[in-house]
Amino acid sequence: MVGLDMQPITVPPPSGQRVHARCDLLGHAPYSDDAQGLFRPYLGAGYRATLDRIAAWMSDAGMSVRVDAIGNVVGRYEGIAPDAPSLLIGSHVDSVRHGGRYDGMLGVILGIEVVAAFARVGRRFPFALEVIGFGDEEGSRFPAAMLTSRTVAGVREGFDLSMVDGDGISLAAALAEFGLDLAAIDDARIAPGRVLAYVEAHIEQGPVLEAEGRAVGVVSAIAAQHRYRVTMQGMAGHAGTMAMHLRRDALAAAAEAIGTVERIGRAGPADLVATVGRLEVLPGAANVVPGDVMFTIDVRAGTNAVRDAAAGEILSEIRDIAARRDIVLGVALQHDLDATPCDAHLTELMEQAVVDVTGAPARVLVSGAGHDAMVMAHLVPVSMLFIRCEKGISHNPAEAVSTADVEVALRTLTDFVCLFERRC
């Protein structure tokens, strides 16, 4: 086959500082739907502006750019031979409400900078380099997460075009309003063999790297996760006239249940965590016994077995609480993700890249947070690089990384690509 033009492009030298600055730029309006902070839900106005900006940066880095059928932005830097399979680098571009500037976005911008580094010197590989910004990892708009990586990987469980956001807008309507063709959604799926591996860089979202004084770490696996929506229905009544022994107080039942979640989570192994992150109480008046409560339960562990045992124990005790208090209980599993081991070969390469850049053995750790990589693992081998974040804070405006650490991550990813070429 005829090789591609190997001429370099005119871009500034690769820079962790530029990566850091670009993430900061995307942390406020017009790249956010909230003028007071960062909130970038899938297919919103801020999301559209963000895709436009990322597409421009991809183009500047020497990539051809497209928005796929589900709304992911994808840049491609061709290999030595046209239409070669790719090494895919990416993360997500959406955010939670009142989120931080680096969760997800740092991985996308790092990918662009890696490509720019090679394009600047005209270096190409036997494979293409592609960078993807997934549109919906957080599930902060619709009641399901990782919709776009699920589509790309062909893992469509939980994908329902009729699901609605908080304003009653269906996923189908939002996609159409964004200009996407509902009939072509399956075109976003990557055919087997078109991608060789998927690599994701992400802030740690935890305190281990900071505690150990390390800029980066290598992820060996992503924790298994179950997320439930629990409803408790009792009987609302006047707070002054309803006798205590006659009450069917939904909030009191929920409080007991929440204590159970914490107790079981604390009693398990170190990799087990259990969280109630959302609570809604109705009718929500100071002088009314609560009649209806909704809360979420998030259970995670390094293995499916530990997660399943803890979740089973939690739900069993909550059923007992509801029966004893005469509460109507509803439990719906909303999120079910198996533990995902990263590919051993790629993990070895990423560890070597960390050694090459830092001169020290790599810290290997399990990710307690979910990532698009755990979905992409259904399609291709995956690897993840963690970047230290200040105090382990994430999903919070206080989220912070240092430019020096971003520079280390950039050099590590660049070295990883070179190692991948030698051993693929």
**Which of 337, 364, 394 is where one domain is finished?**
337
Instruction: Give the model's pLDDT for residue 6.
Output: 61
**pLDDT, greater one: 9 or 341:** 341
Residues 228 and 190 in one domain: no
- Are 143 and 284 contained in the same domain? no
- Do you know the residue count of the chain? 424
Q: What range does the domain containing 45 cover?
A: 16-223+340-423
Please indicate, yes or no, whether residues 126 and 182 belong to a single structural domain of this protein: yes
Give the tens place of pLDDT for each residue, 226-274.
999 999 999 999 999 999 999 999 999 999 999 999 999 999 998 899 9
Rounded to an integer, the average pLDDT of 362-372 is 92
Residue 8 inside a domain? The answer is no
pLDDT score of 336: 86
> Are residue 110 and residue 159 in the same domain, yes or no?
yes
335/208: higher pLDDT: 208
Q: Are residues 137 and 173 in the same domain?
A: yes
Closest alpha carbon to 222 in 375, 334, 390: 375
pLDDT higher than threshold 50 for residue 302: yes
pTM for the whole structure: 0.83
Based on the fold, state whether residues 31 and 178 are members of the same structural domain.
yes
Residue 5, in any domain of the structure: no
Task: Kindly state the average pLDDT of the residues 315-332.
Answer: 98
3-state SS of 389-401 is CHHHCCCCCCCCC
Residue 327 shares a structural domain with residue 414: no
Cα distances (angstroms) measured from residue 18 to each of 281, 391, 413: 45, 23, 16
Quote the pLDDT of residue 2: 38
Dihedral class, residue 179 (left if φ above 0, else alpha if ψ from -120 to 50, else beta): left
Average pLDDT, the chain: 95
CATH number of the domain bearing residue 360 = 3.40.630.10
- Classify residue 10: in a domain, yes or no: no
Residue 30 makes CB contacts below 8 A (sequence gap 6+) with 45, 46, 49
In degrees, rounded to 5, the angle at the alpha carbon of residue 36 between the alpha carbons of residues 35 and 41 is: 65
pLDDT band at 5 (very low <50, low <70, confident <90, very high): low
Instruction: Say if residue 242 is in the same domain as residue 380.
Output: no
Using the predicted structure, report yes or no on whether residue 1 has a pLDDT greater than 50: no
Task: State the CB neighbour count (10 A cutoff) for residue 241.
Answer: 7
pLDDT in tens, 42-66: 999 999 999 999 999 999 999 999 9
pLDDT in tens, 71-130: 999 999 999 999 999 999 999 999 999 999 999 999 999 999 999 999 999 999 999 999
Residues 39 and 76 in one domain: yes
340: number of CA atoms within 13 Å, CB side?
24
Query: In which residue are the tokens 């908080």 written?
Result: 166
User: Alpha helices, DSSP H only, in 178-303?
Assistant: 208-212, 250-267
* Beta pairing class for 292-301 and 279-282: antiparallel
Instruction: Please say which residue of 305, 337, 369 terminates a domain.
Output: 337
Domain boundary among 273, 302, 337: 337
pLDDT at 370: 87
Same domain membership, residue 75 and residue 192: yes
Residue 174's pLDDT is 97
Q: Are 289 and 242 in contact (CB under 8 A)?
A: yes
The CATH code of the domain that includes 306 is 3.30.70.360
Task: Count the domains in the chain.
Answer: 2
User: Within this chain, do residues 281 and 301 fall inside the same structural domain, yes or no?
Assistant: yes
> Residue 144 — pLDDT band, cuts 50, 70, 90?
confident
Distance, CA of 36 to CA of 152 (rounded, Å) = 33
Identify the CA nearest to 124 among candidates 69, 78, 56. Answer: 78
